A and B are shown apart, each in its own frame.
Chain A
Amino acid sequence: MLALDPQALSHLATGRTVALVSGTNGKTTTTKLLASALPTTDGAPVASNFQGANLPSGLVTALAERAGRGPAVLEVDEAWLGEVAAQVLPAALVLLNLSRDQLDRHHEVRHLAQRWRSLCQGLAPVTFVVANADDPLVAWAAAAAAGQVTWVAAGARWRLDAAGCPECGGRLSFGLAAPLSAGAGGGLAEPGGAYDDGHWQCDGCGLSRPAPDLWLEQDGANLSACWRSGPRVALKVSLPGRCNRFNALMALATAVRLGATAPEAAHALAGVDEVAGRYSTVSAGAGSAKLLLAKNPAGWVEALDMLSPAPAPVVVAINAHGVDGRDTSWIWDVPFENLRGRSVFASGERALDMSVRLHYADVAHQVEPDTWKAVAAMNSRAVDVVANYSAFQQLRSRRLLPAPGAPK
């Protein structure tokens, strides 16, 4: 359709309220969360590319499938955000995080941040920005927006790609700052203080985290989203892992700015428990497998955090196609040592790379390139499967076939 009409995206977006979601990790999940929480006035359905087709052709398809004037929530590849924004004139730009992804594509992450900053500088006044204040590259890019930015303390646990200040190249330091609200620790406090506060600043030029407008507070099992302006709302997130709490917070901030009430939006967010097959549990042989997608080091750190408690068995599967990055070296930045004591299979087309990583991490394991065979070999009721992009897609497409060994 793009070939027929280069303006297709622009035409299909005309008259709609459009939110664009971008970032290295969490795009698909945040898009689904936001689409579910968005207020719809006259019952017009929300158009969205839930399945993650995030280049212009995929966006055109998503809009064409739900033609009309209904709102749209679109995830957009980080490198395409500028072009897409120029065509659709979005109401909201949701900027999640930037860290390194496919190593061999040499989209140096700083270069992407620079392009986002140029985009923000040129934004029309009708577009507002919701940005992760905890990610230095994102905050630097978003700060260039003329309009009001909603700063969300949305976490940035992965810091290896942000050592240099995006403004001056100076050294960034991370750590505790003044509490965000009196009486609370600020940020997402975890038992044992495992996570830092998201504050950061440059030792050189003084660039620092913008004061967050919205953050999470945890009291026992209860999670609340707190606005600097005063309101707070209980937040329940059904998706596993720390990163999804932050994705939900970004979606909440955006939905509220687009006119949703906070309690309604929070209620809708709680209903999302699966995203394009991710986090879903599928039957496999005699048991079941929980499927987790992790595409890059930052994503793997979060995924290992979502595993069922040890010693639950785990299959880790990687491929190295173009979409995955053809260089597998990144697996050495992920703390696979944490898998010690579990039953582990190394799997995927590059199972041997994973096997060597596990070998040096002193993780006893077996090798089975076929991921479903590995799951079946576990002979366990519940297996967690973590896979990178194309390995995950292969798994999902085969899930439609009879489970291995199942009677025909």
Chain B
Amino acid sequence: MTVSVALVYPDLLGTYGDGGNATVLVQRLAWRGIEARLVPVLSSGQLPSSCDFYVIGGGEDQPQSMAADLMASGRRLERAVGNGAVVLAVCAGLQLLGQSFEANDGRPRPGLGLLDCVTSRSERARAVGELLVQPGPEWGEGLDLVTGFENHQGRTELGKRSRPVGQVLRGVGNGDGGLEGAVSGRVWGTYMHGPVLARNPKLADLLLSWVVGPLAPVDDARPTALHDERTGSALAEAVSKGGARGWAEWAERGRRAWGAVRERW
């Protein structure tokens, strides 16, 4: 089988380097001898509905609205998801897959509804900086802390049909209840740039396993070194901001928060 990875509208949603997620997915398959094909889809072209993976990145306000318009016509992404495709949507991508998001004119506009979340413009200062998240237990033992870089003005509230990626240890994330991201089925929405899959090889393999099943190990010395460096530096910041509170307290806080999150869903 050839696994196809669509990079959705890099000409509109390519501002934050998130196209690197597609590079990571294709390479991690290729290293395992699985044939993989990168399918860049420009905004002038038609979005295919037959790909296995869709990678959607962040962008500026106006291109985000253009992308939402294009994706709404034809409902091709919805069809792909209905057929089992995996979607990774970052920042503007997360927002436009939700129920609605606030456009640059300040009015809410409908999203694709693939994620159960509503995004408005946050009253707080723009969220810019390292984002570190304790992922929820449902993603399995294998998924470490998740690290990324956030840069957004959004406040994203989750509805009942989406769950968060996890609990924020450092940074802002959704800006609602200390949570980060929105996940429904095989649609993974996050505020993390970095690109997120370059910094988190285990997350890349989790998403890949949803398409191709269990994966053979690859040499992850370098991606793991980056993951640990970013995670360590964000943790150090979180702990230093917390004053005398040490790492143990952070871990306890993460566990408590997860208890609450599980009750909610």
Which A positions have Cβ atoms within 8 angstroms of B? 100, 103-104, 106, 108-110, 159-161, 163-164, 169, 171, 173, 326-333, 352-353, 355-357, 359-362, 367
Determine whether the beta carbon of A164 is less than 8 Å from that of B63.
yes
Which 8 residue pairs spanning A and B have beta carbons closest together?
A332-B20, A329-B17, A163-B11, A352-B226, A332-B17, A327-B149, A359-B222, A329-B193
CB distance from A60 to the nearest CB of B (A): 30
Determine whether the beta carbon of B23 is less than 8 Å from that of A104.
no
Knowing A106-B126, A160-B11, A357-B198 touch, does A329 contact B63 (C-beta < 8 A)? Answer: no
Determine whether the beta carbon of A360 is less than 8 Å from that of B24.
yes
Determine whether the beta carbon of A160 is less than 8 Å from that of B10.
yes
Contacting residues, chain A, for B44 (C-beta < 8 A) = 171, 173
Contacting residues, chain A, for B66 (C-beta < 8 A) = 164, 169
Contacting residues, chain A, for B151 (C-beta < 8 A) = 103-104, 106, 327
Determine whether the beta carbon of B62 is less than 8 Å from that of A355.
no
Is B50 an interface residue, CB under 8 A from the partner?
no
In the assembled complex, 13 residue pairs joining A and B whose CB atoms fall closer than 8 Å, in A order, are: A108-B60, A110-B62, A163-B12, A164-B12, A164-B63, A169-B62, A173-B44, A329-B20, A329-B149, A329-B193, A330-B17, A333-B19, A360-B23
Complex CA distance for A333 and B63, rounded to whole angstroms: 18
Determine whether the beta carbon of A103 is less than 8 Å from that of B16.
yes
Is B195 an interface residue, CB under 8 A from the partner?
yes
Partner of B43, one of A100, A163, A353: A163
Contacting residues, chain B, for A367 (C-beta < 8 A) = 222
Determine whether the beta carbon of A333 is less than 8 Å from that of B17.
yes
Knowing A104-B149, A164-B66, A169-B62 touch, does A331 contact B225 (C-beta < 8 A)? Answer: no
From 109 to 167 in chain B, residues with beta carbon under 8 angstroms from any chain A beta carbon are 126, 128-129, 149, 151
Determine whether the beta carbon of A110 is less than 8 Å from that of B60.
yes
Residue of A nearest to B201 (CB): A356
Is B15 an interface residue, CB under 8 A from the partner?
yes
CB distance from B260 to the nearest CB of A (A): 31
Complex CA distance for A171 and B9, rounded to whole angstroms: 12
Determine whether the beta carbon of A100 is less than 8 Å from that of B223.
no
Determine whether the beta carbon of B225 is less than 8 Å from that of A352.
yes
Determine whether the beta carbon of A326 is less than 8 Å from that of B225.
no
Partner of A331, one of B15, B17, B18, B128: B17
Contacting residues, chain A, for B194 (C-beta < 8 A) = 327-329
Determine whether the beta carbon of A360 is less than 8 Å from that of B27.
yes
Contacting residues, chain A, for B223 (C-beta < 8 A) = 356, 359
Residue of A nearest to B221 (CB): A359
Residue of B nearest to A353 (CB): B226
Determine whether the beta carbon of B149 is less than 8 Å from that of A326.
yes
Complex CA distance for A353 and B66, rounded to whole angstroms: 31
Determine whether the beta carbon of A356 is less than 8 Å from that of B222.
yes
Determine whether the beta carbon of A103 is less than 8 Å from that of B15.
yes
Is B84 an interface residue, CB under 8 A from the partner?
no
Partner of A355, one of B15, B23, B226: B226
Contacts A163-B12, A332-B18, A352-B229 known; list 7 others, CB within 8 Å: A159-B11, A329-B149, A356-B198, A357-B20, A357-B198, A359-B223, A367-B222
Residue of A nearest to B220 (CB): A359
Is B108 an interface residue, CB under 8 A from the partner?
no
From 61 to 83 in chain B, residues with beta carbon under 8 angstroms from any chain A beta carbon are 61-63, 66
Complex CA distance for A17 and B243, rounded to whole angstroms: 56
Complex CA distance for A333 and B23, rounded to whole angstroms: 10
Residue of B nearest to A360 (CB): B27
Contacting residues, chain B, for A357 (C-beta < 8 A) = 20, 198
CB distance from B95 to the nearest CB of A (A): 15
Complex CA distance for A326 and B198, rounded to whole angstroms: 16
Determine whether the beta carbon of A327 is less than 8 Å from that of B60.
no
Contacting residues, chain A, for B23 (C-beta < 8 A) = 332, 360-361
0/1 per residue, B205-232, Cβ < 8 Å to A?
Answer: 0000000000000000011011001000
Residue of A nearest to B226 (CB): A352
Residue of A nearest to B63 (CB): A164
Determine whether the beta carbon of B15 is less than 8 Å from that of A164.
no
Residue of A nearest to B24 (CB): A360
Is B14 an interface residue, CB under 8 A from the partner?
yes
Determine whether the beta carbon of B20 is less than 8 Å from that of A352.
no
0/1 per residue, B15-41, Cβ < 8 Å to A?
Answer: 111111001100100000000000000
